[in-house]
Amino acid sequence: MTVKKLLADLRALGSEQVRSLFLKHGVKEPVYGVKIEELKKIQKKIRKDHTLSLGLYRSGIADAQYLAGLIADEKQITPTDLQQWAREARGAMVSEYTVPWIAAESGHGYALALEWIDSPEENLQATGWSTLSNVVALVPDEELDLKNIKALLKRVKDTLHKSPDRVAYTMNGFVISTGTYVSALTDEAVALGKDIGKVTVNMNGTACKVPYSPDYIKKSIDRGTIGKKKKMARC
C-alpha cells in the first residue's frame, strides 16, 4: 500500500455531508469527509506502518492525518516527528486526539506536553493538555510525578476561565482524566472541578457539550473503575 493509493481511496470514500460536519467542528481544509468508521476499517487492514503513517500525515489532509495516527507505530515515532505533527495538525480532530494519543503511547508525551502547554499558540496548548490527559490515563501512578500533576491541577484552577476556548476545554478534560485514572488525586480533582464550576466554550453551533467534571468523575466512582488504567490511548 502506498500513500498515493491510500489518498485516492480516502478521496473516494469522502462525502460532502461528513466533510461539512468536520468543518463545522473546526477541521481545516483540505479534508475529504471520510467517516471515522471507514478509517478504522482501513486501520484493521494495515495495522501499524511507520513509514506509511508519516507519509499520510505529511499530505496535510485532515482525514489522512487522522488515519496516520491510527496506524502509527508508537515505538518508532520520535519527538521530532511528534513536534512536526503537533505544528501541522489540521484542526482539533487531529491536534486534540490523534497527536496526543500517539505522544502518550510513545513515552515522549509527558515531556512534550509540558513544553506545549507553555506555548504561545492556542492549538499547541490544547494539544499539551490533551496529551497530559492521555498520559495520566496510561501511566501507572507510581511512575507519575504526582507532585507536578497536583501543580498542574492548580494551574488549571487558576487559569482555565482566562484561557482560550480549546485550551479551557482540554484543561477540563485533564481534570476529568486525572480524577478518573489517578486514584490518589480523585478527591482533589472532584473538589477542584466544583471550584471551577461549569465550563462554557463556543462549540460553533454543534451539539457537543463540555462535561461537568465532578459528575463525569462520579460516573467512574459509581462503576468502580477509578484508577483502572487504559491499555492504549487511541480509539
Give pLDDT tens digits for 166-197. Answer: 999 999 999 999 999 999 999 999 999 999 99
Residue 15 to residue 100: CA distance in whole angstroms: 27
Select from 135, 137, 141 the least CA-distant residue to 116: 135
Are the C-beta atoms of 18 and 34 separated by less than 8 Å? yes
pTM for this one?
0.97
What does the pLDDT read at residue 1?
85
pLDDT tens-digit map of 33-46:
999 999 999 999 99
Residue with grid cell 495520566, as numbered in its chain: 136
Residue 88: pLDDT band with limits 50, 70, 90: very high
Whether 59 is in a domain gets the answer no
Domain span including residue 117: 109-235
Q: Is residue 223 part of a domain?
A: yes
Please report whether residue 15 resides in a domain. Answer: no
What's the domain count of the chain? 1
Q: Residue 160 domain-assigned?
A: yes
In this model, does residue 203 exceed pLDDT 90? no
Please indicate, yes or no, if residue 232 is contained in any of the structural domains. Answer: yes
List Cα–Cα distances, 219 to 107, 194, 216, 226, in angstroms. 28, 15, 5, 9
- Could you report the per-residue pLDDT of 219-228, keeping only the tens digit for each? 999 999 999 9
